[in-house]
Amino acid sequence: MECVEIIGGKPLSGRIEIQGSKNAVLPVLAGCVLHAGISRIRHCPRLQDVEDMIAILRELGCLVWWEEDCLTVDASFLSGTVLPKETAGRMRSSIFFLGALLGRCGQADIPYPGGCVIGARPVDFHVEAMRSMGAGIDEAEGRIAARAKRLRGVEITLKLPSVGATENIILAAVLAEGVTVINNGAKEPEIEELCRFLRGKGARIRLLPQGSLEITGVSALKDSEHELIADRIAAGTYLLAAAVTNGVVTLGRMPVQHMQALLDCLEKMNIAIKKEGKDITVDCRKPHRGIEFLETAPYPGFPTDLQSPMMTLLAVTEGRCRLRENVFEARFKTVEQLRAMGAQITTEGREAIILGVPGLHGAQVRAEELRGAAALFLAGLGAEGRTQISGCGFISRGYENICENLKQLGADISVEE
């Protein structure tokens, strides 16, 4: 999907179901190699990042197959520990194989991970943690080569609550000798999801009273079946799409308990929210109130992955908002494209000043990364006239069937390869 054309100005209406979590499934897929057997993952989203992880698993000797929304990984025949540069080098989540392969095989050779252009995401925390657990690591020619007869449990205090580093340490610790304690680890729902998956395989992981994670190493894991949580970022994007178009939308299979920061913002903006079990209905037909200040933060704060889509909504909401990005330093790349559609946004460092306008107009714009692509989709949905978005391959990395879902909600959207 390279180019998408949207005829905007139509309020979204109807109901869709939310996909499985992209940010949760990627470390889970790496965790499948810890067990010489079967792992079944239900409610697994069909995304480009998932397909790239599958390609890596197959390159390592795993058998992987789909049955509807269930992905099965058989890692009985794991035969490699070297990740291919072509696939692993273009996605950030390949770094999870560092801890997983070290844990099971005692060695891993991976390229420095790639990904989006939203800012620096160094792997220093990952490498330092593996070293502290007894791994010898050589970094040369764009690769990380790690070796350890068997990892040993240690107490690790992260300088920052990095989600990826926390997940990698968990993966490394599950089969390590002794007890590993992670202090100042990330608290995102995706962390608990990885722990839930691994506990289902026989891992010994518990949350300590002060909030640290304790992992007691085991000698082996077992076959398991796991149903993935819904994607809170995809859910938030569809809620914001309803708001941008002044629509009325019901979303099913919602991870309601993980979305309070966004729901609080929407309620402040005069958007009516009705919760019924795992369904949420938003009625966005009343005039929206502005928000003077909003900043991203680690969970349970406002998620950085929804900052760009929220910027689109703020761009068409009356008033002035100061939006601060505290997680990634280069996450305002969509601003120039929104300006081309009539938004009034200025940036300085990590802050964007947004002056709401009555509406946007269609234009030719280009996406440069995943969540920025989602922001442009929302802008096109709310804009008057025709919007052509190129670079839409990014959106398939994180949103399953987004064009079909938006069509189901009444959007006029078409795809050009």
The residues assigned a catalytic role are 116
Round to whole Å and give the CA distance between 258 and 300.
8
Please list the residues that pair with 224 across neighbouring strands: 39
Helix (H, G, I), strand (E, B) or coil at 126: helix
Q: In Å, what is the CA distance from 339 to each residue of 95, 311, 392?
A: 35, 12, 19
Please list the residues that pair with 213 across neighbouring strands: 182, 207
Residue corresponding to tokens 């304790």: 214
Round to whole Å and give the CA distance between 267 and 28.
33
Q: What is the DSSP string of 280-340?
A: EEEE--SPPPP-SEEEB-STTSB-GGGHHHHHHHHHTSSSEEEEE--S-TT--TTHHHHHH
For residue 110, the surrounding DSSP H or E stretch is strand 107-111
Distance linking the first and last C-alpha atoms of the chain:
5
Nearest to 98 by CA among 44, 56, 55: 56
For residue 165, the surrounding DSSP H or E stretch is helix 163-173
Please list the residues that pair with 249 across neighbouring strands: 14, 282
Indicate if the alpha-carbon torsion angle 399, 28, 49, 99 is positive or negative. positive
For residue 14, the surrounding DSSP H or E stretch is strand 13-17
Nearest to 107 by CA among 132, 79, 84: 79
